[in-house]
Amino acid sequence: MNPVARTVLERLGLGLITLFIVSIIIFSAIAMLPGDFAKATLGQSATSETVAAFQREIGIDRPPVERYFVWVAQMLHGDFGSSFASRTGYRRSVAEIIAPRLYNTMFLAAVTALVAVPLALGLGILAALYRNGWFDRLVNAVTLTTISFPEFFVAYMLAYLVISRDTFIGSDFAQSLPHWLAASLGWALNAVPKFPTLSNVNEQTPFWDHVWKVALPAITLTLVIVAHMMRMTRAAIINMLASPYIDMARLKGMSPMVIVLRHALPNAWAPIVTVVAFNLAYLIVGVVVVEVVFVYPGIGQLMVDAVKSRDVPVVQACALIFAATYILLNLIADIISIATNPRLLHPR
């Protein structure tokens, strides 16, 4: 059997086992949380009778072990089950609830990745090329600054910038500044595009409208993830540049750009791809804060909502999707690493 195919199959098998373990952990974690769906939904208005009636209807009066295996059996039939928010004659299937949210999350992740990954690679290559020069220092300083701020802070600052575009001139702060400064700041703020601070989209939102609405969340996430990928690219390339074969290329009289792109980069892919995969996974599973700040209906918010209301089927499905995302992206990263560096197939 082809060694690459064997690795892939092995990894997929291990992935399935991981998913199984994740599902047990999530299920028992939620079972251990205080309260249940009936109590969480009724809140202050819960009386013991209404809670009992609720529990009977959604079946959480039965023992947890039984519920878990019923759920696993459903999953094996490809059915994610129904949300606890369903009522008799009004089924809300988990798949139906998750699908639009997952699409939105993927959309935001894709838009961000399309901007951030080429930007990070480009900046990383340039920084390696002009290492220790002013360009390198500047790029490092800026990206390290943006990664150091918590993402909600970056998000609020961007939203504030958009609001200030219209309100700055009338504010007390502007009045207290010298006139020329206030005027030029106002002029600069006017150059900020009027991005929407509310990214509320739905299925009817046209494609380009959707892109426009996710502008601010995408910029926020880009600022947060670029530094990591950029610095790994730079480090991996600089590491390669110390190798004897690069000296050889240099002695042949090749230009630095060609050396980096043709000789250093192909051997540096493995660590870069791993970091890129890590950040892409983050874009899918870890952006709940940004979703909340910009009111973007993504899957992160859905999961937090579901945990709060103890809607176990939805939490389970989200957790499995997140786990599967990590497993798949890491697998792809490994395959790319192996394909670009076959030595990795034969570890010593």
Partner 1 sequence: MSESEYKLGIARSLIGGGNVSRRDFIHLGLAAGLTVAAADKLFVSTARAEPMQGGFAKLGMAHGATTDSIDPAGYPDTFTQTAFSGSLSNSLTEVDAKGNVQPDLAESFESSDGAKNWAFKLRKAATFHNGKTVTADDVVTSLQYHMGKDTKSAAKSLLESVAEIKADGPETVVFTLKSGNADFPYIMSDYHLVIMPAKDGKADWASGVRTGAFVIENFQPGVSAKLKRNPNYFKNGKPYLDEVEFIAITDLAARMAALSTGEVDYIGRADLKTLGMLKRNPKVEIVEVTGYGHYTLPMNVTMAPFDNPDVRMALKWAINRQEIVDKIFLGHATVANDNPIAPAIKFAKDPQPQHSFDPEKAKHYLKKAGMENLKVDLSVADAAFAGAVDAASLIRETAAQCGIDVNVVREAEDAYWDNVWLKKPWCASYWSGRATADWMFTQAFAADSSWNESFWKNPHFNELLVQARAETDEVKRAAMYAEMQQLTHDDGGSIVLVFNNFVSAQSKKLAHGEVAPNWENDGLKMAERWWIATA
> CA-CA distance, 251 to 237, in Å (whole number)?
18
Binding residues for partner 1, rule CB under 8 A, total: 58
The correct pick among 113, 229, 306, 319 for binding partner 1 (CB under 8 A) is: 306
Which residue, among 166, 153, 221, 225, has the nearest Cα to 193 in the 3D structure? 166
Q: What minimum distance in Å lies between the beta carbon of 37 and partner 1?
A: 8
CB of 98 closer than 8 Å to CB of 299: yes
- Within 132-151, the residues that bind partner 1 by CB under 8 A are none
- The stretch among 112-120, 185-193, 197-205, 319-327 that binds partner 1 (CB under 8 A) is 197-205
Regarding 2 and contact with partner 1 (CB under 8 A), the answer is no
- The stretch among 23-31, 116-124, 155-163, 183-191 that binds partner 1 (CB under 8 A) is 155-163
For residue 144, the one-letter residue type is L
Q: Which residues contact 220 (CB under 8 A, 6 or more apart)?
A: 151, 154, 155, 158, 290, 293, 294
Based on CB atoms, which residue is closest to partner 1, 194 or 252? 194
Regarding 301 and contact with partner 1 (CB under 8 A), the answer is yes
Based on CB atoms, which residue is closest to partner 1, 165 or 234? 165
The correct pick among 41, 233, 316, 325 for binding partner 1 (CB under 8 A) is: 41
Residue 206: φ, ψ to 5°: -65, 160
- What distance separates the 2 farthest-apart alpha carbons in the chain? 85
Report in angstroms the alpha-carbon separations of 153 from 138, 142, 178, 289: 22, 16, 28, 10
- The stretch among 18-26, 156-164, 179-187, 267-275 that binds partner 1 (CB under 8 A) is 156-164
Q: What minimum distance in Å lies between the beta carbon of 320 and partner 1?
A: 17
Regarding 78 and contact with partner 1 (CB under 8 A), the answer is no
The correct pick among 309, 316, 325, 337 for binding partner 1 (CB under 8 A) is: 309
Residue 92: φ, ψ to 5°: -120, 100
* C-beta pairs of 304-311 under 8 Å, 24+ apart in sequence: 307/30, 307/33, 308/40, 309/37, 309/40, 309/41, 309/84, 309/85, 310/30, 310/33, 310/35, 310/36, 310/37, 310/39, 310/40, 310/84, 311/37, 311/83, 311/84, 311/85
Q: What minimum distance in Å lies between the beta carbon of 162 and partner 1?
A: 6
- The stretch among 8-16, 35-43, 181-189, 227-235 that binds partner 1 (CB under 8 A) is 35-43
Based on CB atoms, which residue is closest to partner 1, 285 or 306? 306
CB atoms within 10 A of CB 203: 8
Regarding 238 and contact with partner 1 (CB under 8 A), the answer is no
Interior angle at CA 147, CA 142 and CA 149, nearest 5 = 100
> How far from the centroid of its chain's Cα atoms is residue 67's Cα?
31
- Within 157-196, the residues that bind partner 1 by CB under 8 A are 159-160, 162-163, 166-167, 170-172, 194, 196
- Judged by the rule CB under 8 A, the positions of this chain that interact with partner 1 are 33-35, 38-50, 53-54, 57, 83-85, 87, 89-90, 92, 97, 100, 156, 159-160, 162-163, 166-167, 170-172, 194, 196-198, 200, 202, 204, 292-295, 297, 301-302, 305-306, 308-309, 311, 314
